[in-house]
Amino acid sequence: MGHRDVFTAADAVFMPIMGEAAIYTPSGGAAVACYVFIDFNVMLQPSGVDAQVWEQGTTIKALLSDITNEPNRGDVFVVDGVTYTVQAILENDGLAVKVVVK
């Protein structure tokens, strides 16, 4: 079993245990149930700025195998009845994607 397989298996086990239940809805697509890690008050550097400017924001991490595709701007996650709209992709390692949401 390669390193990637180990992390894929670990994510599949731990995300439902430690993550929060959510619904992901891509623009114009069908909603899917998934588990996410949501982090509040994350220090983010706004895109398009060449200075040392930071702002606080919220990020959501989801398994790509659960949501099937990398989210696009405008797609939404609903966690505990709160709707979070995808603003930008922060990370995508091929297993999970972390997005900035509002």
Q: Find the CATH number of the domain harbouring 57.
A: 2.40.10
For the chain, how many structural domains are there in total? 1
81 has a pLDDT exceeding 90: yes
Mean pLDDT for the stretch of residues 67-78: 96
Domain interval for residue 26? 3-101
The pLDDT value given to residue 3: 63
pTM: 0.80
6 has a pLDDT exceeding 90: no
Closest CA to 85 of 41, 6, 27: 27
Q: Which residues pair with 43 in a beta bridge?
A: 56
